[in-house]
């Protein structure tokens, strides 16, 4: 089936100066190779922001998980937060896992929220999703984001959104956020603040050990057998594998 000219034109738009050099080179290579199947797969659809967020294969294109599709999600969420709580009043917590570009996507999301005047608490390194939910409540944030694709294959990544209760967004916030994300039609509408400047201005706050300690204390307080003496060995032996996951950061300590 011949390649739709509109799809090819959409691909060529990603070779413009508004995209970073690596993205431009990746897309230009597909065009030069006349790889119609790959161009159609990458640009023939839009990676949809659904109830829980985004999830897709990492790569350049409108139907891929990259700094621009993830960036549109952050910009749309920023618009929604400002409408809900007013300019300068919202805050977001961001965590990420160990997948390809997770740290990059998390950092860039923080830059976008900062550019929109929304304070961001960014975990300094990978953390498990349950701690993100805890941190949203602990820090009194408006929303939370975790960059992860859960159980999907390694070539995937994703963008999950939680609201102020730390849980996945539900009506009316889910549809409200989705509408704002879908309204981002031009990549130039995504605003990025300089990371170091935003840190100096207090719009990006790095978090880590202090939230870990609060989270572990909350876990300890939830023990079912509170009368057990931790000094007495219980004879329980556990083998744990994080399977490349973020649980390795806290499960041993817990």
Residues annotated as catalytic are 150
Q: Taking a C-beta distance cutoff of 8 angstroms, is the pair 110, 230 a contact?
A: no
CA distance 176 to 110: 21
Q: Tell me the DSSP string of 32-90.
A: HTT-HHHHHHHHSS-----SSEEEEEBSSSTTSBSHHHHHHHHHHHHHHHHHHH-TT--
What are the distances in angstroms from CA 227 to CA 233, 239, 253? 14, 25, 20
Q: Taking a C-beta distance cutoff of 8 angstroms, is the pair 168, 118 a contact?
A: no
């Amino acid at each position: 089936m011949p390649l739709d000219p509109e799809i090819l034109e959409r691909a060529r738009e990603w070779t413009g100066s508004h995209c970073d050099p690596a993205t431009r080179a990746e897309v230009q290579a597909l065009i030069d190779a006349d790889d119609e199947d790959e161009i159609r797969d990458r640009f023939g659809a839009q990676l949809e922001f659904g109830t829980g967020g985004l999830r897709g294969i990492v790569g350049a294109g409108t139907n891929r998980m990259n700094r621009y599709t993830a960036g549109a999600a952050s910009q749309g969420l920023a618009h929604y937060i400002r409408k809900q709580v007013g300019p300068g009043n919202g805050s977001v917590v961001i965590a990420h896992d160990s997948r390809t570009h997770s740290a990059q996507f998390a950092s860039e999301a923080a830059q976008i929220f900062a550019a929109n005047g929304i304070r961001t608490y960014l975990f300094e390194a990978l953390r498990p999703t349950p701690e993100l939910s805890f941190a949203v409540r602990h820090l009194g944030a408006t929303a939370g984001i975790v960059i992860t694709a859960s159980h999907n294959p390694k070539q995937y990544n994703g963008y999950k959104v939680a609201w102020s209760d730390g849980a996945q967004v539900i009506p009316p916030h889910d549809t409200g956020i989705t509408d704002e994300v879908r309204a981002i039609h031009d990549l130039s509408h995504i605003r990025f603040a300089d990371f170091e400047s935003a840190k100096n201005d207090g719009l990006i706050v790095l978090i880590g050990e202090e939230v870990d300690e609060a989270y572990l204390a909350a876990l300890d307080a939830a023990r079912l057998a509170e009368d057990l003496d931790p000094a007495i060995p219980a004879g329980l032996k556990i083998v744990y594998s994080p399977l490349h996951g973020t649980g390795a950061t806290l499960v041993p300590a817990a």
